[in-house]
Amino acid sequence: MPLLSLNAVSRTFGTTRAVDHVSLDVNQGEFFGLLGPSGCGKTTTLRMIAGLEKPDSGSIVFQNEDITNLPPERRGFGMVFQNYALFPHLNVFENVAFGLRARHKTKAEMNERVSSALELVQLSGYGKRAVDELSGGQQQRVAIARAIAIEPALLLFDEPLSNLDVSLREETRSELRELVTRLGLTAVYVTHDQEEAFALCDRISVMVGGRLMQTGRPRELYEQPAEISVASFLGRNNLIKAMRLSSSNTADGEFKTLEGEHTLHLRVKHDDLAPLNKPVYVAIRPEHVELSMNNNNAENSLRGSIREIVFGGATSTVRVDANGLLVEALVLRTNGLEVNQPCNVILPPDHLTLLKNP
Amino acid sequence: MSHGLKRRSVALLFVTAIVLLYGVVYPNLSVVVSSFQRAGAWTLVNYREILSQRIVIEAIVSSLGLSVATVLFCAVVGVPLAFLFERFTFPGRRIFAALAALPLVLPPLVGTVAFIFLAGETGMLAHGIQNLFGLQSPPWRLRGWPALILFHTYTMYPFFYVLTGAGLRRIDASLAEAARSLGASQTTVLRRVLLPQLTPSLVAAALLTFMTSMASFSAPLLFGGDVRVLTLEIYTARQRGEFVMAITETVILAVISLAALIFFQRYEGTRRFAAAAMKGAPRRRASISSGTVRVLATILAVVFAIVLVLPVATLFLVSFAREGSWTTQTLPSAYTLANYQRLFGDPYAAEVFFNSFTMSAIAAVAALLWSFAVVTVLRRGKNERRFFGEGWRRLLSLLVLVPWALPGTVVAVSVAEAYGEPSLLLGSFVLVGTFWILPVVYFLRFMPLVVRALQASMEQLDPTLEEAAGSLGARAWQRFMRVTLPLVWPGAVAGTLLAFVIALGEYVASVLVFVPANRPISIAIASELRDFNLGAAAAYGVVLIVIISISMMLAGRLERLRG
């Protein structure tokens, strides 16, 4: 039984569908990510979970209880805002104690819970400080302490690290994950940063244009994207337009690329086969493309010539023109490679993914 | 957001609507209705009679002409000063900048009196020149058009100075730099980059100046001479007992004011610039390279600073003048504390101060409390379209602004007309003739100030703070008491203080409806002046200025507290 379920939740602002029939389940103890480009509706989805936004249609269920119309203050979810939303007129202690005062806790319990929350975020002894005296990273920790002090049933994060600089962001990221795991909390985490989502989350939903495209573990999403939008949003990808060949009668799919007219073999299940004579997209990651200097008989080996070599530090990108089809390959070394040199690119069938039609 | 507070929201909406109905809708409607009625029948005869009188047409033309002239003169003085003092730095700049807004805080009546003491034909300047050159008669008479325009320019140029300065500060320095890098000359930058961006500020300044000038009463009354403006006509018509005439003229004045408001706001609406730029660098003030120009600028700053201070200094001096010691001399020949002793010893003066303080405090505190209801209602209307429609929200904000846009004369006349006899809304209670008429009029006139101050504070409030409080479990009332109120009260109280001090020196509306039981300070000043007790009138003015200065400093403190 999932802890939290969104059932076909929609929200429209004016004429734009910010969130369009989004359904998802979050399990107890899970670190769940909502990932997507800016404006994709992920923050609106989070705000509907928090109760700050009301869905136009659909329902939100938490622990078997419909909370769609419950005001935020009665949900008991802790939320960490993108700009932290610390109360400027209250000091650190009072900020963290805010939710406890609203719950009319005794003074002793409040003191204990505030100091343990501050300890958890390594800010013991900062209680008397004004919040504007703190650095960005420290303010961030206060926001987290404030959210966990109420012992939330669910912890919501709205791009909490986006205002930190890069080195601090990575450090805070691992601390955050450790903290949530240690306290046994369930978290929903909104971000547009794919690396951040991959590092933090057990499962991720990718949202594009208000719709939920795919939900899965980070590796699944990366290696088997279901849609073009997911494939192109998550890292670099070669998207090859192709058509299934009518002559194909094996269990494998046999496709002809529209550019270069190469024949490609894919390992796809029979029922996933694309319709005949209709263009579809086949995707392969640049790091899975192999480059070979000599002619060979490997499966899906295409003849071409090097168009461009882009040095990128640890790895470099080589663009190969295979009879009009441009393929990107990631290589460790560029020694001995030259522009216009003839070569073969090999697209291993195991790594070719057939994408759903958009 | 939360949905469980329907009852409280409805109560707030009710309070808001009741005040607007009693204070704005009904009085204004009853003035309009009365202007179209005679002997209980609908007719246009009032308008026909009034518009056939030369003196009324003249008053309309004079009011419009004076306002247009005031706008032009204030722009010509205020805008170049703003450029000079906002864009450049030189010795003496701060002296002027600190004093620039001084005329704005002078109550119009006190300013007028000070101006007469300084520049009137029996004032210090005229006496000085007369004595210096042994002239038989004063070198000028402070009367009519030149006097009015001079005084209006002195009191209202700060609208242009302050708003243009603020506009210039907002303009991203990199825009001018970008224009220069694209090959534009200094003058092209001014014409095609700076001025277009300043348009909203200039339009706003023109609007404020026009409306203030249209509502001006003290100066035309005391040294308008042959120039009869509408506010004065309405006052004299009421004095003569021609109430229908006063009411019809009031409607004409109100229509002109509202038309101006709509005209300017239309224009402003078409010229609003979104902040297209990313984070920009504010422009640094340039230092003037040429030595001569710098000296000239410094001299200019000092001269203007003296001009600004002179009327107040004059008032101060006269307030210490011994009775009869200032007849033909340049400066009073003998000084005394008697004027102030009278002010603090005389039971009549004490009563006047008590009246003004009580009535202004009642009006200001009521405005503060009520503004929370209005702003809450308006905000809820914005956040939840289900609460009430956008059209209603617009109407509400408009009604709140109406008393601000109307001259004080109109507010006073309309309240007097609506509640001058047993009425539909108040039953047998007649407001006119009681102590409460002035607190009510003060409240109506100055509550828009408080509402706007509170609205500005609320807009600065980060909406995620209330959301954060909600997610932490705080109910609506707790959110308001523990997050919203602590963050907005400095701004709201600053606005309330401002309303309080303006009410303290109010004259235009008070003179129309005051009764012996609530005689305010301004009426006392006017009667001292009429009895030629110049020292006593000046002493009242100085005390008012001191109270205003202290309040403004407090308000400034509060503003900084908020930032």
Give A-chain residues touching B473 at CB under 8 angstroms: 73-74, 76, 99, 102-103, 150
A98: confidence class by pLDDT, cuts 50, 70, 90: very high
Distance of CA B509 to the CA centre of its chain: 13
Rounded CA gap, B175 and B278, in Å? 11
- End-to-end alpha carbon distance in chain B: 27
Under the phi-then-psi rule, with left for phi > 0, alpha for psi from -120 to 50, and beta for the rest, what region is A299? Answer: beta
pLDDT in tens, B237-293: 999 988 889 999 999 999 999 998 888 877 765 555 544 444 455 566 777 777 888
Q: With an 8 Å Cβ cutoff, are B474 and A85 in contact?
A: no
Comparing CB atoms, the residue among A79, A88, A101 nearest residue B471 is A79
Three-point CA angle B425, B427, B429, nearest 5° = 110
Q: What is the pLDDT of residues A39-63, one digit of tens each?
A: 899 999 999 999 988 899 999 999 9
Pick among A46, A69, A70, A87 to test the B interface (most B CBs inside 10 A): A87
Whether residue B327 lies within 8 A of chain A, CB to CB, comes out as: no
Q: Which residue has the higher pLDDT, B123 or B519?
A: B519
Model confidence pLDDT, tens digit, residues A7-36? 999 999 888 899 999 999 999 999 999 999
Q: Quote the CA–CA distance of B476 and B480 in Å, as a whole number.
A: 6
Q: Where are the domains of chain B?
A: 45-232+296-319
Amino acid (1-letter code) at residue B26? Y
Residue of A nearest to B562 (CA): A89
Domains parsed from chain A with CATH numbers:
4-229 (3.40.50.300), 236-354 (2.40.50.100)
A293 touches chain B (CB under 8 A): no
> Which of B464, B472, B482 lies nearest to residue A83, judging by beta carbons?
B464
Asked if B471 is an interface residue toward chain A (Cβ–Cβ < 8 A), one would say yes
Residue A232, pLDDT above cutoff 80: yes
Calculate the average pLDDT of chain B: 86
CA distance A100 to A147: 10
- In angstroms, what separates the C-alpha of A300 from chain B's closest C-alpha? 49
At residue B252, the pLDDT reads 94
First-to-last alpha carbon distance for chain A, in angstroms, is 31
- For A135-189, the pLDDT digits (tens) are 989 999 999 999 999 999 999 999 999 888 888 888 889 899 999 999 999 999 9
- Look up tokens 């300013």; give the residue: B111
User: Cα(A79)–Cα(B511) distance, rounded to whole angstroms?
Assistant: 58
What is the pLDDT, as a whole number, of residue A210? 93
Residue of chain B minimizing CA distance to A99: B472
Asked if the Cβ–Cβ distance from A73 to B2 is below 8 Å, we say: yes
Amino acid B10: pLDDT: 84
Contact B509, B408 (CB under 8 A): yes
Question: Closest Cα of chain B to A145: distance in Å?
Answer: 12
pLDDT score of B539 more than 90: yes
Mean of all residue pLDDT scores within chain A: 89
- B182 or B471: whose pLDDT is higher? B471
Interface check A187 vs B, CB under 8 A? no
Q: Pick from A93, A50, A84, A102: which is nearest to B471 by CA?
A: A50
Percent of chain B's residues with pLDDT above 90: 43
Q: What is the pLDDT of residue B274?
A: 47
Superfamily designation of domain B45-232+296-319: MetI-like (1.10.3720.10)
Among candidate residues A183, A114, A178, A172, the one with its CA nearest the CA of residue A139: A172
Q: Calculate the CA B346 to chain-centre distance.
A: 31
Length reported for chain A? 358
Q: How would you label A72-90 residue by residue, b for 16+ Cβ within 10 Å and e otherwise?
A: bbebbbbbbbbbbbbbbbb
Residues A256 and A263: beta-carbon distance below 8 Å:
yes
Can you tell me the distance from the alpha carbon of A226 to that of A358, in angstroms, rounded to the nearest whole number? 10
Contacts of A146 in chain B (CB under 8 A): 468, 472
**pTM score, two decimals?**
0.81
Q: What is the pLDDT of residues A1-10, one digit of tens each?
A: 899 999 999 9
Fill in the amino acid letter for B342.
Answer: R
B474 touches chain A (CB under 8 A): yes
SS3 assignment, position B43: coil
Instruction: Report the distance separating Cα B183 and Cα B108, nearest Å.
Output: 48
A71/B1 Cβ within 8 A: yes
Q: What is the pLDDT of residues B108-136, one digit of tens each?
A: 999 999 999 998 888 888 888 888 888 88
Contact with chain B for residue A142, Cβ under 8 A = no
Mean pLDDT of the A292-301 span:
83
Mutation target among B466, B472, B478 for the A interface, most CBs of A within 10 A: B472
Say whether residue B488 is in contact with chain A using an 8 A CB cutoff. Answer: no
- pLDDT for B174 beyond 80: no
Between chains, do B472 and A50 touch, taking CB under 8 Å as contact?
A: no
Q: Which of A63-67, A78-82, B158-162, B456-460 has the lowest mean pLDDT?
A: B456-460
Cβ contact (<8 Å) for B470 and A52?
yes
> In angstroms, what separates the C-alpha of B172 from chain A's closest C-alpha?
24
Question: Taking CB atoms and an 8 Å limit, are B470 and A78 in contact across chains?
Answer: no
- Say how many C-beta atoms besides its own lie within 10 A of residue B379's C-beta: 17
Taking CB atoms and an 8 Å cut-off, how many pairs form between chains A and B?
Answer: 77
pLDDT of residue B268: 62
- Percent of chain B at pLDDT > 70 equals 94
- Contact across the interface for B469 and A79, Cβ inside 8 Å: no
Of A71, A78, A101, the CB nearest to B3: A71
Any CB–CB contact under 8 A between A73 and chain B? yes
Q: How far apart are CA B360 and CA B357, in angstroms?
A: 5
A contact test, residue of B1, B387, B464, B471 with most A CBs within 10 A: B471
CA pair distance A208, A36, nearest whole angstrom: 6
Please indicate whether residue B380 or residue B354 has the higher confidence score (pLDDT).
B354
Can you tell me the distance from the alpha carbon of B457 to that of B441, in angstroms, rounded to the nearest whole number?
25
